[in-house]
Amino acid sequence: MHLRTLSIATIAMAASTLWAGPKFNFNEGQSSLEITQTYQLWGAITPSTDNSPDTDPRIDLYLKRGRFGFKGQAMPGLSYNTVIAFDNVGKDPYGAT
């Protein structure tokens, strides 16, 4: 029971989104560049089932999806936002995702 409670608490904490990134100002604050990063951690518990006897029960923790980008102000009246994304959902055919 203690392992199950610990696993559920870990998964609940890992399901949140993490943000990070520095911001740089240029030209006396008229231009800026911010590096943005967003990652979502994911946890899944897969019990052993009779349908897949070759798989063991498992607990997975991985990056579910992420975003990396640049945004800012090139000059007064002109802003930009560029984002690159990845998604890792459904990569394990035997996982509970």
Q: What is the 3-state secondary structure (H, E, C) of 30-48?
A: CEEEEEEEEEEEEEEEECC
Q: Specify the pLDDT at position 19.
A: 54
User: For the chain, what is the mean pLDDT?
Assistant: 76
Query: Which pLDDT band holds residue 1 (cuts at 50, 70, 90)?
Result: very low
The count of other CB atoms within 10 Å of the CB of residue 36 is 18
Look up the pTM and report it: 0.52
Phi-psi category of residue 74: left, alpha or beta, with phi > 0 → left and psi -120 to 50 → alpha: alpha
Identify the pLDDT of residue 25.
92
Classified as helix, coil or strand, 49 is: coil
Averaged pLDDT for residues 19-44: 84
